[in-house]
Amino acid sequence: MSQRPLILVTNDDGILAPGILALAEAVAPLGDVVVCAPETERSGSSHAITLHSHLRVDEVRPGWHRVNGTPVDCVYLASLHLCERRPALVVSGVNPGYNLGSDVFYSGTVGGAAEGFIRGASAMAVSVHARESPRVAIPVVRTLARMLLAQPSLSLLNVNIPWISHSAPPPEGPPEVLAEGIPIVVTRLGARPYVEQVERRQDPRGMAYFWIGGPPRDAGEHEGEDTWAVKRGFVSVTPLVLDITAPDLTPWQQMFAGTTVQVDPRGDE
């Protein structure tokens, strides 16, 4: 058995997406790489897992598997069945577009990484500016992956890489790219509101159907947030935890103090 760490690569854009090729290339020098990704686009699938229908796996080439499921399905199957040993690192991406702020609750890219963390591996979700090539992520991913593999404790990171190409400036203006390299900044999640939008349409048979979700809107940002970092040309690294309990339970303890509920075991009101 190989002594190199096993690295699992996944995404939510499908196994043919350019980002997953860049990701596999980034980590190839660091360990034995297995790729397991959805057969089709599964963006916005969050932490969805398939429990009520079957899953099929095809090995499209040695070490590359496609699954008719979500990123979480892919990581679960690969970690427990497809890989000869448990992954030491799970890397998800490269997503073409940021996953900032509340995006982490919707993102299949983050969902895949979080499932890897649940399965006992360090993990990171990697996203780039929507107009950026995923290949700019290669040195960032390789640097961070090497550091995670060297740490005894497990980490779950959400990584966002700004517009750093010199071919054209980003819509919000040129980033502050430093000559000695792009700074990596540890951040917290910022605000990422979207236009609330429901568009009703009608099909040729007169039946209504809907498109939901609008573009992101500017809510401002504060120093130290992920939204603040990428706008200034920094690589944003946000450590995530699975415990989303409110940090201070005192208001709710006070609210419900002494409260009891009478419950009829027969289910009657």
199-256: pLDDT as tens digits: 999 999 999 999 998 888 887 788 999 999 999 999 999 999 999 999 999 999 999 9
How many domains does the chain contain in total? 1
pLDDT band at 16 (very low <50, low <70, confident <90, very high): very high
**pLDDT value at position 180?**
53
Residue 49 lies in a domain: yes
DSSP string, 54-115: ---EEEEETTEEEESS-HHHHHHHIIIIISSS--SEEEEEEEES---TTHHHH-HHHHHHHH
Residue 226 lies in a domain: yes
Q: Return binding residues.
A: 12-13, 43, 95
pLDDT higher for 63 or 164?
Answer: 63
Residue 66 lies in a domain: yes
pLDDT higher for 58 or 218?
Answer: 58
Residue 4, C-beta contacts closer than 8 angstroms, at least 6 positions apart: 30, 31, 32
pTM above 0.95, yes or no: no
Residue 214 lies in a domain: no
Mean pLDDT computed over every residue of the chain = 92
Q: Return binding residues for a divalent metal cation.
A: 12-13, 43, 95
Residue 262 lies in a domain: no
The fraction of the chain above a pLDDT of 70, given in percent, is 93
Residue 212 lies in a domain: no
* Residue whose C-alpha is closest to residue 37's, from 7, 53, 58: 58
